[in-house]
Amino acid sequence: MKIITAKDYAQLSKAACDIVSDKLKKISQPVLGLATGSTPEGLYECLIERCNMGEISFRNATTFNLDEYVGLDETHPGSYQYYMKEKLFNHIDLPIERANVPSGTDADLEAHCKAYEEKIREIGKIDIQVLGIGVNGHIGFNEPGTSFDSRTHVVELDPSTIEVNSRFFDSIDEVPGKAVTMGIQTIMDADEVVLIISGENKADTVAAFMESDVTEDFPASILKKHPNFTLIVDEAAYSKVQTKA
């Protein structure tokens, strides 16, 4: 595990942007695994700026997003398809047909999960997977107790996840109770994994991650076993770690 400590969110976002940009420059047909939420927004702003300046290009890239809420289509402002278009896809030169986000409205979600997994398998592998982390240690929407062997699947969201994510909706009652998510094994199959964590509100989570055993009760703990894993964390989020690396 490599740890990069950033002074603040801006520095954290740039560090993540440098790593993703390097993949775009060095790999002829890069496959990117993308995340949503507030933490990656700075990363995406940086990537957009570099793309518009001609420093990087997404023309030959393919992307796979981690997850999507069940019941929300791409026109819903709370959906991750909507988020990705607004925060990244609409502003870069990525061919939209190569931007893959799970569907939360497919008539047969189980079949859709298998098809999404197969599409990843057909392309070979994800070259770099960007992750955030939930306060309870979830990655993607793989809540505590999810099997480390899991593949893309439908999951019941933990009440703590629903509560935290309610800030993106008008009320907590509007937050869907289910989601489609890449499985933990799918994430671990990526060639490289980058976990970005920012803010004082994640300090307890970072401390738990650093100090916990590898256990399905804290899904992100499995990342410690990935051979090419980087944690990028700002000072606020790293503040409660007792033994600094």
Residue range 132-160, pLDDT digits in tens: 999 999 999 999 999 999 999 999 998 88
At residue 143, the pLDDT reads 95
- Write out the residue range of the structural domain in which residue 24 sits: 2-234
Asked whether residue 51 is assigned to any structural domain, the reply reads yes
State residue 167's pLDDT score.
Answer: 87
243 within some domain: no
Residue 239 domain-assigned (yes or no): no
pLDDT value, residue 245:
58
Question: Does residue 97 lie in a domain region?
Answer: yes
Residue 41 pLDDT class (50, 70, 90 cuts):
very high
Across the chain, mean pLDDT equals 95
Provide the number of structural domains found in the chain: 1
Say if 154 falls within a structural domain.
yes
13 inside domain = yes
Three-class DSSP category at 116: helix
Select the more confidently predicted residue: 168 or 147. Answer: 147
- pTM of whole model > 0.85? yes
Whether residue 94 is contained in a domain is answered as yes
Full strand arrangement of the beta sheet holding 193-197: 2-6, 229-234, 193-197, 128-131, 31-34, 62-65, 99-100
Q: What gap in Å lies between CA 1 and CA 166, rounded to an integer? A: 32
Cα 61 from Cα 144, distance rounded (Å): 32
Catalytic residue IDs: 67, 136, 138, 143
Residue 244 lies in a domain: no
Mean pLDDT of 211-231: 96
Given this model, what pLDDT does residue 96 score?
Answer: 95
Cα 101 from Cα 82, distance rounded (Å)? 10
Write out the two tokens for 96.
């939209």
Both tokens assigned to 237: 């989020």
Whole-angstrom distance, CA of residue 165 vs CA of residue 144: 17
The predicted-structure confidence for 172-197, as pLDDT tens digits, reads as follows 998 889 999 999 999 999 999 999 99
Residue 168: predicted pLDDT: 87
* pLDDT over 90, % of the chain: 91
* pLDDT at 29 (0 to 100): 97
For 77-112, write each residue's pLDDT tens digit.
Answer: 999 999 999 999 999 999 999 999 999 999 999 999
pLDDT surpasses 80 at 244 = no
Mean per-residue pLDDT for 100-129? Answer: 96
Q: What is the CATH number of the domain that holds 219?
A: 3.40.50.1360
Mean pLDDT of 26-42: 97
